[in-house]
Amino acid sequence: MRVNEKIRIREVRVIDADGQQLGILPTEEALRRAYDKGMDLVEVSPMARPPVCKIMDFGKFKYQQKKKDHEARKHQTVVDLKEIKFRPKTEEHDIGFKVAHIKRFIEEGYKTKVTLMFRGREMAHMDLGAALLQKVIGMTTEFAKIEQPPRTEGRNMYVILAPKAVQQQ
């Protein structure tokens, strides 16, 4: 806020750059104190009565905030999701082949989305699809856990599998 702007708030609670409370001051006095120190008067809590303002170097504050956000992103892990698609008419051999792929993905540490796609008249036999999905879940129970139970979304039915936690001995 510039000093020569029309000020609507008469007084504010001011906190010094060192974190000490200066008390409730007229807004113009608070702005003058910030200006004398070569800093900015930043509104910290606008909903308080009177509003709380802090004397600080706003540019430095923004820079430190940006650095902190960058550091937080460094330590963040992105979980990749692999997907395997089935159809209700998928044959037994193909199911085993795709379960082997699921096992490989799980062993590599990926979460895996098993999707069952329905087309046309297959939508009338969703119970057969659900049975197939349960069969796949049964084949993967020894190395994967269900993270999200089977769901139907439009023409697709899916379940998300995740690696089982490694047991420590």
Examine the domain organization and report whether 87 and 66 are in the same domain: no
Measured CA distances, 111 to 33, 105, 115, 144, 148 (Å):
56, 7, 13, 9, 11
Dist CA 160 CA 165 (whole Å): 15
Number of CB atoms found within 10 A of residue 41's CB:
21
- Tens digits of residue pLDDT in 131-168: 999 999 999 999 999 999 999 999 999 999 999 875 44
Residue 73 is predicted with a pLDDT of 85
Average pLDDT in the 77-102 region? 90
Residue 99 is predicted with a pLDDT of 95
Residue 165 is predicted with a pLDDT of 74
Examine the domain organization and report whether 149 and 86 are in the same domain: yes
Examine the domain organization and report whether 35 and 106 are in the same domain: no
Total count of residues recorded for the chain:
169
- In sequence order, the β-bridge partners of residue 158 are 115, 151
Please name which of 137, 126, 127, 132 lies closest in space to residue 160, comparing C-alpha atoms. Answer: 137
- Tens digits of residue pLDDT in 24-62: 999 999 999 999 999 999 998 888 889 999 999 999 989
Examine the domain organization and report whether 61 and 114 are in the same domain: no
Examine the domain organization and report whether 107 and 48 are in the same domain: no
Domain membership of residue 2 (yes or no) is no
* Tally of domains in the chain: 2
Examine the domain organization and report whether 98 and 59 are in the same domain: no
Examine the domain organization and report whether 88 and 60 are in the same domain: no
Q: Is 45:75 a contact under the CB 8 Å cutoff?
A: no
Instruction: Using CA atoms of 119, 124, 125, 126 in order, give the dihedral in degrees to the nearest 10.
Output: 70
Q: Return the axis-axis angle of helices 126-140 and 92-107, rounded to nearest 10°.
A: 50
Examine the domain organization and report whether 48 and 114 are in the same domain: no
Q: CATH number for the domain including 87? A: 3.30.110.10
User: Residue 65 belongs to what domain range?
Assistant: 11-71
Examine the domain organization and report whether 154 and 85 are in the same domain: yes
In the listed set 71, 94, 117, which residue is the last one of a domain according to the structure? Answer: 71
Q: CATH number for the domain including 31? A: 3.10.20.80
Domain membership of residue 3 (yes or no) is no
Dist CA 87 CA 125 (whole Å): 12
